[in-house]
Amino acid sequence: MHGEILMGDIVVIKPGSGIPVDGVIVEGSSWVDQASITGESVPVEKTVGDSVISGTINKNGSFQMKATKVGENTTLSQIIKLVEEAGNSKAPIARLADKVSGIFVPCVITIAVLAGIFWLLQGQSFEFALSIAIAVLVISCPCALGLATPVAIMVGTGKSAENGILIKSAESLELLHLVNTVVLDKTGTITEGKPKVTDLVCEGEIIHLLQIAGSLEQNSEHPLAEAILEEVTQRKIQLLKVEDFSSISGRGVKGKIDGKMYFGGNLAFMQENGVFTQNIKKETENFFAQGKTVLYFASEQTILGAIVVADTIKTSSFRAIENLKARKKQVVMLTGDNRVVAETIGKSLGIDNVISEVLPQDKEKTVQKLQEQGKKVAFVGDGINDSPALMRADVGLAIGSGTDIAIDSADVVLIKDNLEDVVTAIDLSKAVIRNIKMNLFWAFFYNCVGIPIAAGVFYLGFGLKLNPMIGAAAMSLSSVCVVTNALRLRKFKPQTIPTSCPVGLGLDQPSTTAKITNQKSNKEEKIMKKTIQIEGMQCNHCKMSVEKALNSLEGVTKVEVSLEDKTATIEATKEIEDDKIKEVIEEAGFEVR
């Protein structure tokens, strides 16, 4: 398609279509998903005068764009060129066993010939000398040296496949154990790669807020509407019929529900419609500082609350990064997303080195700079924009759900989309290399002991002469030992340390079934202690609502609510029925089971 579009041509881009060339919008507006190129997890609004990039996706709306870069000059073509250049610059790894075998065989032949000549000069018969020479040849075991590396690697790659790790080459498996710096892409690698509801700020009931928001957004084409509708679906909230619906580009949506007008959108849209937002504005300022998107909802002039949307961190990312640090690996997060979002996520994960707002070629240059500092670098990514860096790194690891070009560029593919597999791959590489070194040591040791005996070193002093048939049997046994030792790798199991990080740090939705457990203390006043698991708590406002509801119960002396664990613990001077606790919590808009 690139060849059909010329510089200056006007191209019509319809909803859901990919953008074929770089250009500038001359008519219309839309939201464009640029995650594959820039790493931005949330679609970006584009209007007249804004530039668009080839390889990105038009989410909704249609527009006309003027082509400014076509063919080999487009951003996507430049990325592909970078991938090819980076791949060609990778030096092949030299194999120790190949070098040794190349020297070993001529040396053994020389030793056999010299041993035979030596015993002839000592006055021994030709048959004796020939037997010595043959014994030296058959007991020497270049096959054990040759098997030491490939058998261990074969078993190691098979074991990696069992754990959902596809290793494309022996070189990458060998290099993984040398890696001391792990560079991680953010969007789709550390995070889920799509917006989700992370926090709720409510002036009333949560269920009512989500019901109104979902009802309005079901008619919207805005990319963030998908996140709200997903949350509503998970909570099984019934949507209401909306009349007189309208969408205002860059502002929000509005419509009538049961004859009453409701609004949903940004802060400016609320103010335009005379909604008082001063109280809730203060509660949501912190979310803006974290780079999250806040959507406000109101009924005519009364604010209902706000729904906060952001890309969420994968639960496996916390464990993976903590385990990498435990193994003394430097962790770097490299992303094209904006600085605020990147630093917030980096802080949550405990990553000190965060590099943001970088283009694809900058990612590749960053990896190259780390290598020039003498570091062995592994890069983990999933997008088109990660491909040059994947090729440049000593070992490139691609997320299995990533783009085809990223998977093709990588040396290792993590099929399960789990960052913990990076740790497993490094540990497996260490186990394989340790096994290879053990095989090589014993192969060398065997030859260093066996060849002198076969050459008759102990014949003059002890009359010890090796029969060639025994030498052949010993040679076969050495190969069997090498293969058996390599097969021990089949017992390899991923080893990870327990992580102290709370899962999701409030970014993931609760999935456990709630219940109430009782515990009575041994104190004389017989304080009753109860722990309640609660679904639906998302923010500090929710926490305060639960505390207020539980404190209203007669006899309650202390209430502690944990957002991380989704639990509330109460202490009371009298027995409180579980049904009563459940009733007050459900009245506050939450669920207990």
Residue owning tokens 């509330």: 568
Catalytically annotated residue among 22, 33, 185, 417: 185
Opening angle at CA 422, ends 419 and 424, nearest 5 = 115
CA distance 458 to 441: 24
- Residue 452: CB partners within 8 Å, gap ≥ 6? 458
Q: DSSP 3-state assignment of 493? A: coil
Query: Around Cβ 243, how many Cβ atoms within 10 Å?
Result: 10
**Nearest CA-CA partner of 173 in 492, 388, 497, 499:** 492
Strand partners, 202: 305
Instruction: Convert 362-377 to b/e letters by CB count within 10 Å (16 or more is b).
Output: bbbbbbbebeeeebbb
**Sign of the CA dihedral running 197, 200, 206, 212:** negative
CA distance 452 to 460: 13
At position 343, the amino acid (one-letter code) is E
Under DSSP, the state recorded for 488 is: G
Q: Where are the beta strands (DSSP E) in 316-420?
A: 330-334, 353-355, 377-381, 395-399, 412-414
CA distance 220 to 209: 17
- Residue 88: CB partners within 8 Å, gap ≥ 6? none
Q: DSSP 3-state assignment of 505? A: helix
CA distance 342 to 348: 10
Q: Which tokens go with 233?
A: 């679906």
- Residue 167: CB partners within 8 Å, gap ≥ 6? 156, 157, 160, 161, 173, 411, 412, 425
Cβ-contact 266, 277 below 8 angstroms:
no
- Residue 294 has φ and ψ, to the nearest 5°, of -110, 125
185 is catalytic: yes
Q: Which tokens go with 91?
A: 């030096």
Q: Where are the alpha helices (DSSP H) in 455-517?
A: 459-462, 468-487
- Residue 475 has φ and ψ, to the nearest 5°, of -60, -45
Q: Which tokens go with 119?
A: 């015993």
Residue owning tokens 């219309």: 28
Cβ-contact 312, 507 below 8 angstroms:
yes
**Nearest CA-CA partner of 552 in 591, 587, 528:** 587
Cβ-contact 340, 290 below 8 angstroms:
yes
Q: Which helix (H) or strand (E) holds 344?
A: helix 339-349
* Euclidean distance between the first and the last CA atom of the chain, given in angstroms as a whole number: 56
By annotation, the residues acting in catalysis are 185
